[in-house]
């Protein structure tokens, strides 16, 4: 009934939030690489790169590593929303296709 619909809704919101956070953080990282004139192709020492191009992170994980950056804040916010939504959904107990039943046995008998 209602609990099942509520569980599916929270699960869907959580999954969508995680995907949106990943995509938005990736978009911000690529936008920063293409359009940030502050970086302007210089390394940590202030010397220009030989190629003349900015450093581009290889993964989204490298983009969101700094929690003070816009990418890090967006990623953290959406992933926090995703984790809370999935936790609140309690989908293993509400959806019959993932509920395996109550196991009252103990793996180690004393």
Tens digit of pLDDT for each residue in 26-83?
Answer: 898 888 877 776 556 677 787 887 877 777 788 888 888 888 988 899 999 999 999 9
Determine, yes or no, domain membership for 100: no
Report if residue 51 sits inside a domain: yes
Query: 101 lies in a domain?
Result: no
Q: What is the mean pLDDT of residues 7-33?
A: 91
44 within domain boundaries = yes
Per the domain annotation, does 14 fall within a domain?
A: yes
In a domain, 104, yes or no: no
Burial class (CB in 10 A: 0-12, 13-18, 19+), 96: exposed
With respect to residue 20, please indicate whether it lies within any of the assigned structural domains.
yes
Buried b (16+ CB within 10 A) or exposed e, 64-91: beeeebbbbebbeebbebbeebbeebeb
**Total domains, the chain:** 1
pLDDT for the residue 104: 62
**pLDDT grade, residue 103 (50/70/90)?**
low
In terms of residue numbers, what domain contains 33? 2-94
Does the residue 99 lie in any domain? Answer: no
CA–CA separation, 37 and 99 (whole Å) = 53
């Amino acid at each position: 009934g209602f609990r099942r619909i509520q569980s599916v809704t929270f699960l869907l919101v959580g999954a969508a939030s995680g995907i949106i956070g990943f995509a938005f953080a990736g978009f911000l990282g690529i936008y920063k690489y293409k359009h940030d004139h502050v970086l302007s192709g210089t390394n940590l020492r202030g010397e220009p790169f030989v190629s003349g191009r900015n450093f581009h992170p290889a993964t989204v994980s490298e983009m969101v590593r700094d929690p003070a950056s816009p990418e890090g804040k967006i990623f953290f916010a959406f992933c926090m929303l995703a984790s809370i939504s999935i936790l609140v959904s309690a989908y293993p107990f509400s959806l019959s296709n993932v509920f395996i039943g109550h196991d009252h046995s103990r793996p180690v008998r004393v």
